[in-house]
Amino acid sequence: MGSVRKFDSKPKINGSWKFLDDYQSEDMIYGNIIYSKCHHGIIKDIHFPNDFNISEFTFVYAKDIPGENIVPEPVSDQLFLAVNEVFHYGQPIIGVAHPNKVTLTNFIKKIKIDYEELPAIIDIKECLDNEKNHFGREITIDHRTRDEIQNSWIRHHNVYYMPHQEQAYLEPQGVIAEYDKQDGIIFVRITAQCPYYVKSGVESMMGSAVNDVVIETSEGIGGAFGGKEDFPSLLAGICSLLSYKSGKPVKIVLDREDDIKITTKRHPARIEIESYTDPATKKIEKIDIDYRLDAGAYQTLSPVVLARGVLHTAGGYGFPDSFIRGRLFRSNTPPNGAFRGFGAPQGFAAMEAHIDGIAAEMDITTIELRKANIFNNGDEFPTTQKVTEENLIDCFNKVLEISDYQKKLKSYAQWNKNHKDKKGIGVSLGFHGGGFTGNGEKTLNSEIKVVLEKNAEVKIFVANTDMGQGAHTTLAQMFCEAIDHPFEKTKVQLPNTSKTPNSGPTVASRTIYIIGNLLKQLALELKKKYKFDKLESYIIEHNSEFPLELRKNYIQPTSVFFDEESYRGIAYKDYSWAACVNEIYFHADTYQIELIESWNVLDIGRVVNEQIALGQAEGGILQGLAYGLSEFFYKPGFGRMSGFTDYTLPTTLDIPKIVIEFIHTDSVTAKGLGEIPMDFPAPALRNAFLNATGIIIDEYPLTPEVIYKTIKEQK
């Protein structure tokens, strides 16, 4: 059963699978958001165009909110609708709806808002270089064990900058809200990752004005990558209020320009690393990391991203002495949020570059240095969590072998002597902790429900969404495989908060790792209890006992304990590991890096569905490569991106050959897969450029402009 086909492939290809904008209803009207085009200011006046019949429009302002004007999760500091002051470009001010989509668009274009402008920070470096911009959460991991720095140790110190990255899910954000006046219920259909987050958002907005809120996802969720984790709550709140006020179903679908300009992005980061290495042993004896994230105007999800960030940024190395300080910084840009990797890609982009920097400074190979420091069984994370396996070493050795690294390293060095263009090869390592950080899974206490029907059909009820990652196919597969039940007779239901229990958000590489394994356990318990060989035959024989409803909650093992104060303990029970080798060709005349081949070895434990897993890994790796090579959202003098014309995504012509190998697939546990492919490829690309040219670049992405600027400055 290893490669069961996805049940939704064919309807997606022939266009019959329903995405948010494909849902229609008779009296539905269209909504949108009027948002701030000022970075920071006081709203002085709003001018509506006078060539429209204003009475045809429905407007909602902050004052119309019956409940709280605060998006509740995870940190409640973001407003649904601005009151008098706007704190970032893209901040929603008014919700508006009209029966005609074209009229609505034309109307919004003509609205003018006057602001009294206030000082604003919109540049990444201006935000992150200035300590005064720190706000909100700060985390320290103090694992200092040495008092003295020995004279022979070699100090290496550098600052690395990582840009915004846009999730660029192909289906834009969208929602339909329908207020049923009779029952006082708001029904929301949405393209989102976390139906229960949306529920709590709408409940907060509507307060006691409604009796109940039900959230159901659209059949298709056209990509998300974290981008549909928290922003949908804001959008659903505003849309619900429009429906409540107008009495009609309201649909909001953002157009691409608005979607890019106002939704969450990956956090820009500034990471400063100071290290001391013993030249005799090549062991990095001491490391100090200052990890800063530009949160945007509000904290929202950022404290959680910061937590994962500081827990990953030291990389897969056993440092005997480490100190990590993580902080959030405020700017006047839209709040940054979740994006596949969640703080880890920034951390590895800096640390893996730093490792190559140390090697260059000490004139030793990056392989020697990594081998001297890579996680061995018994090493400790900065949290003091013990490393209990050597799977990262296995990934590393394997990727060097399959990429033929040593041979290429030598031959490229030779080739480079006689050519203006350069060839290069670079490595990087990465890991990703599965599930929520620390005690998060304990708090979530995820619940799943399974209904066994009289005809032996198995219906799985979980709140986890399938946004293209194939989760619903793989979840069904895990239940079936455990007890040898036919896959065709098993179906994951569409997430709906009135039907599916809260099995937690679809984030943190937790869907298969936590929910899938829980389904598997439930299936095995069922088999043990009823002592059947085949579930189907048992149901036929005992038909009167069915339909049967079963529920199960995730219980975090008692061995997992994390101290949120000291940041010590077990941050994640299981880690996925990875190693990468990237090969590049540098065009000296155009300052362009061409990707030639990307080699990736991953340990994600048991691979449930190899085809789906390979597809996931491939897509994540390409996003990671683009993070290192081409994607950024804002540049001084250039402004912010507004569409796919300026925010350039990799096309079929831009991609290298991607080789992927999974190891340790005979493990019992299926570990996290969703995020790790994004975490590690970017620095291997940067290191390949260093290998090719000898030029150190500490700013991502390595665009021709950045390379040109660096070369010019060095001259």
Decide if residue 612 touches other proteins (CB under 8 A): yes
**Helix, strand or coil for residue 211?**
coil
Tokens of 180: 């049923």
Contact pattern from residue 148 through residue 187 relative to other proteins, giving x for each residue in contact according to CB under 8 A and a dash for the rest: -------------------xxxxxx---------------
Question: Which region among 220-228, 308-316, 665-673, 701-709 touches other proteins (by CB under 8 A)?
Answer: 220-228
Contact pattern from residue 49 through residue 88 relative to other proteins, giving x for each residue in contact according to CB under 8 A and a dash for the rest: ----------------------------------------
Residue type at 676 in one-letter notation: I
* CA 338/CA 236 separation, integer angstroms: 18
CB 516, min distance to other proteins, A: 18
CB 93, min distance to other proteins, A: 23
Decide if residue 643 touches other proteins (CB under 8 A): yes
Decide if residue 105 touches other proteins (CB under 8 A): no
Decide if residue 201 touches other proteins (CB under 8 A): no
Tokens of 274: 């100071």
Decide if residue 30 touches other proteins (CB under 8 A): no
CB 681, min distance to other proteins, A: 11
Decide if residue 12 touches other proteins (CB under 8 A): yes
Decide if residue 622 touches other proteins (CB under 8 A): yes
Pick the closer one to other proteins by CB: 271 or 492.
492
Contact pattern from residue 287 through residue 326 relative to other proteins, giving x for each residue in contact according to CB under 8 A and a dash for the rest: ----------------------------------------
Q: Report the site for other proteins in 416-475 (rule: CB under 8 A).
A: 467-470
Helices and strands (H, E) in the chain, number of each type: 19, 27
Decide if residue 487 touches other proteins (CB under 8 A): no
CB 253, min distance to other proteins, A: 8
Decide if residue 6 touches other proteins (CB under 8 A): yes
* CA 517/CA 608 separation, integer angstroms: 11
Q: Indicate the burial class of 389 (C-beta count within 10 angstroms; 0-12, 13-18, 19 or more).
A: middle
> Is the four-CA dihedral 612, 502, 342, 324 of positive or negative sign?
negative
Contact pattern from residue 557 through residue 596 relative to other proteins, giving x for each residue in contact according to CB under 8 A and a dash for the rest: ----------------------------------------
How many other C-beta atoms lie within 10 A of the C-beta of residue 254?
19
Q: Which helix (H) or strand (E) holds 640?
A: strand 639-640
Decide if residue 10 touches other proteins (CB under 8 A): yes
Residues forming beta bridges with residue 34, ordered by sequence position: 94
Decide if residue 3 touches other proteins (CB under 8 A): yes
Residues contacting 467, CB < 8 A, separation 6+: 169, 193, 221, 222, 223, 224, 228, 506
Tokens of 658: 């991607």
CB 101, min distance to other proteins, A: 9
As a residue count, the chain comes to 715
Residues contacting 404, CB < 8 A, separation 6+: none
* CA 465/CA 54 separation, integer angstroms: 39
Residues forming beta bridges with residue 548, ordered by sequence position: 452
Q: Residues in contact with other proteins, total (CB under 8 A)?
A: 56
User: Of 55, 645, 666, 714, which one interacts with other proteins (CB under 8 A)?
Assistant: 645
Phi-psi region of 184 (alpha: psi -120 to 50; beta: other; left: phi over 0): left
CB 472, min distance to other proteins, A: 12
Residues forming beta bridges with residue 140, ordered by sequence position: 325
Decide if residue 9 touches other proteins (CB under 8 A): yes
User: Of 17, 52, 115, 135, which one interacts with other proteins (CB under 8 A)?
Assistant: 17
Pick the closer one to other proteins by CB: 13 or 668.
13
In the block, residue with structure tokens 């299981």: 574
Q: For Cα atoms 142, 143, 145, give the angle at the middle one, nearest 5 degrees.
A: 125
User: Of 53, 208, 653, 712, which one interacts with other proteins (CB under 8 A)?
Assistant: 653
DSSP letter string over 124-150? HHHHHH-GGGEEEEEEEEEE---S---
Decide if residue 24 touches other proteins (CB under 8 A): yes
User: Of 443, 445, 492, 623, which one interacts with other proteins (CB under 8 A)?
Assistant: 623
Decide if residue 90 touches other proteins (CB under 8 A): no
Residues forming beta bridges with residue 142, ordered by sequence position: 323
* CA 334/CA 315 separation, integer angstroms: 29
Decide if residue 621 touches other proteins (CB under 8 A): yes
Decide if residue 338 touches other proteins (CB under 8 A): no
Pick the closer one to other proteins by CB: 15 or 637.
15
Decide if residue 599 touches other proteins (CB under 8 A): no
Q: Indicate the burial class of 93 (C-beta count within 10 angstroms; 0-12, 13-18, 19 or more).
A: buried
Q: Indicate the burial class of 666 (C-beta count within 10 angstroms; 0-12, 13-18, 19 or more).
A: exposed
Q: Indicate the burial class of 129 (C-beta count within 10 angstroms; 0-12, 13-18, 19 or more).
A: middle
Residues forming beta bridges with residue 428, ordered by sequence position: 580
Question: Which region among 142-150, 221-229, 271-279, 495-503 touches other proteins (by CB under 8 A)?
Answer: 221-229
Decide if residue 8 touches other proteins (CB under 8 A): yes
Cis amide leading into 11 (omega within 30): no
CB 415, min distance to other proteins, A: 23
* CA 224/CA 271 separation, integer angstroms: 27
CB 642, min distance to other proteins, A: 9
Question: Which region among 177-185, 193-201, 558-566, 615-623 touches other proteins (by CB under 8 A)?
Answer: 615-623
User: Of 37, 125, 245, 256, which one interacts with other proteins (CB under 8 A)?
Assistant: 256
Burial readout 609-626 (b: 16 or more C-beta within 10 A, e: otherwise)? beebbbbbbbbbbbbbbb
Pick the closer one to other proteins by CB: 334 or 681.
681
Give phi and psi for 102, each to the nearest 5. Answer: -65, -45
User: Of 126, 129, 618, 661, which one interacts with other proteins (CB under 8 A)?
Assistant: 618
User: Of 655, 695, 696, 711, which one interacts with other proteins (CB under 8 A)?
Assistant: 655
**Helix, strand or coil for residue 118?**
coil
Decide if residue 221 touches other proteins (CB under 8 A): yes
Pick the closer one to other proteins by CB: 22 or 116.
22
CB 304, min distance to other proteins, A: 23
Decide if residue 255 touches other proteins (CB under 8 A): yes
Decide if residue 26 touches other proteins (CB under 8 A): no
Decide if residue 614 touches other proteins (CB under 8 A): yes
In the block, residue with structure tokens 């290298």: 656
Contact 573, 557 (CB under 8 A): yes
Decide if residue 220 touches other proteins (CB under 8 A): yes
Question: Which of these, 115, 124, 125, lies nearest to 45 by C-alpha position?
Answer: 115
Residues forming beta bridges with residue 576, ordered by sequence position: 432
β pairing state of 422-433 and 575-587:
antiparallel
CB 70, min distance to other proteins, A: 31
Question: Which region among 387-395, 477-485, 572-580, 617-625 touches other proteins (by CB under 8 A)?
Answer: 617-625
Binding region for other proteins (CB under 8 A): 3, 5-6, 8-10, 12-19, 21-22, 24, 167-172, 220-225, 255-257, 467-470, 611-612, 614-616, 618-619, 621-623, 643-645, 649, 651-653, 655, 657-658
